[in-house]
Structure 1
Amino acid sequence: MRRTISAVPFGVYQDEPVLLYTIENSHHSKLKVLSYAATWYDFEVQVNQRPQSLVYHFDNLAAYINTPYQVGKTVGRVAGRIGGATFTLNGQAYHLKANNGHQLLHGGDHGLQTHNFKGCFDPHGDTVTLTTTLLSADDGFPGDLTVTVSYTLTADDEVQISYHGVTTVDTLFNPTCHVYFNLDGQAALINPQQLRINSTKLVHTDHEKVPTGVFYVPTPAYDFRNQPVLQTQLDRLLQATGKTEYDDCYVLDHQDEPAGVLATDHGQLLINTDRNGLVVFTANPDRTQSDHLGDYHALAVELQTLPDAINHHGFGDTILHAGRPQTYVNRYRYVAK
């Protein structure tokens, strides 16, 4: 069988049709993507000759529009928080409209997560390309920014997501996919799965989850270097801090190793990025799923330059210059056991 790509209707958003694209490779793995918010809808692999979903998803467009969890969506221009909704670029201060307390979260209320992208593909290819433009007049950032998000499914079950930005004047550019994983399907708890993060330090944040500019060495409850079981770490976290969830940003150590690994009985997902940050967030995007505190059906993994980088030395460069397009690539490969 050759690889194929198809597109079917998935609803209507702001009077425009939303399409669901499916890329299928030669051994029947499937990558599914929505034009709305360039959303990673699903990733199905074959386990014991049956399809196994690895990505948390909804079955209708209304759920994607209404969820506060940004499920699977491309977020930005700038993923994460910008402290005080304020930054300075080229000597000019920008004060944007806060949408998360006093902060700007995921680029504001007109970010990529609110757009229905235009798509194109070769029916016999391996890539769906989605494009939209963020206007300075809409979101307050300098420059009109054209963003192209390309989803590729390779023959060896690797999902590659590239983010290409072109701007009219210097601006900020740090998008990511707010994907949630559960390698055993979203009806199962993610607690028994194992997580490894290639990091020896975390970003310290204040009470509003805004980076303070300081890194710190993880205590045992936050240390995922040896691929512990999530439940074991959640138990440690509760005992040490009284918390029952993770919502933390790790500073990645080495580009030549996977940024992270999520593993279960049938296989593992190897996660790679060309940027320096990995945010993890334990969640139940369907709030009716779990009544027991600390039971989770999904783990968000956001690969990006460290949040609020424009306001902190040593956090990375999120400036996109006019006339100098930039491309970032995140990769997720499933390997069966």
Structure 2
Amino acid sequence: MRNIAGLNLLSIGEIKLKNNLIAAPMAGISDKPFRNLCYQFGAGMTVSEMFLANSDVWHTDKSALRMTASEDIGVRAVQIVGSDPDEMARAAEFNVKHGAQLIDINMGCPAKKVNKKLAGSALMQYPELIKKILQKVVGAVDVPVTLKTRTGWNKDHRNCIEIAQIAQDCGIKAITIHGRTRACLFNGVAEYDSIKAVKEKVTIPVIANGDICTPEQAKDVFQYTQADAIMIGRAAQGRPWIFEEIAFYLAHGQLQKNKSIDEVEQVVLSHLDELYQFYGEYKGLRIARKHVNWYTKNYADSDQFRRLFSVLSNTSEQVNTLKAFFSQIRNNPKS
């Protein structure tokens, strides 16, 4: 058994990460402000929201916001999604031309609107098509290409080992496995047995994803699966500092002291300011609502605050209301 605190730093191709903790690409969440926050709080790498391979939308405002830029901090990793090998290769080339240092291929998204276009996890039904896509993308760019999958299409068709072996043969530099089938969506518990089995069959780095919500769980997943890294998604919503908590626990064997109310308030206010600057006031304040909902949901009696916050229509109201909320928490420590 490896010494968890002494894990080798993860290398993906020529890229060496600062640690073995990765922030997952999450549609509608993993924008530049969120990625930068996760990186500042200890993620070794962050991955962008999925970028559509359909070139018709590349020059829209929405796609422009999803692209990485030279001023992004950390490794500039972009996830692409689609089902046509040539389109996927062009999407990879386009993003590398605009600064991407790593391309990740999405074959894990379970959303119906993605799957009905034979993209995301729907591709796991078609290993030959997967092979063509991987070969085309790897051949199109000179940066590392990684793959994110599920364990299979459904529980009767778990083929993640086969897909991982195809990926390795095609030159994929690392594979992330979300420990559920497409049919599971986000229900049930993650299948770490499948991730462990993949790790035993391939030599490229394997990244474990799914249900890792605490430092203790992170350590258990590392030990059980022998994965080279772990990827955190939903657990970072409203808690982007989970990466430094995990890193501290793996290094010292004890939990880091919880953030104070003052520290949490500063993180949230900083995040909101970044959203306002990145998107502008109209869109920024709307996107801020879901993040504030996550940041505050675990405080007692926060329901009324969150309902109020959800209808505020300018940024100064949001900031002042948030400050008042945290002031109330400070004055009532049991909250």
More strand by share: 1
More helix by share: 2
TM-score, shorter chain, exceeding 0.5: no
* TM-score normalised according to structure 2 size: 0.26
* TM-score normalised according to structure 1 size: 0.25
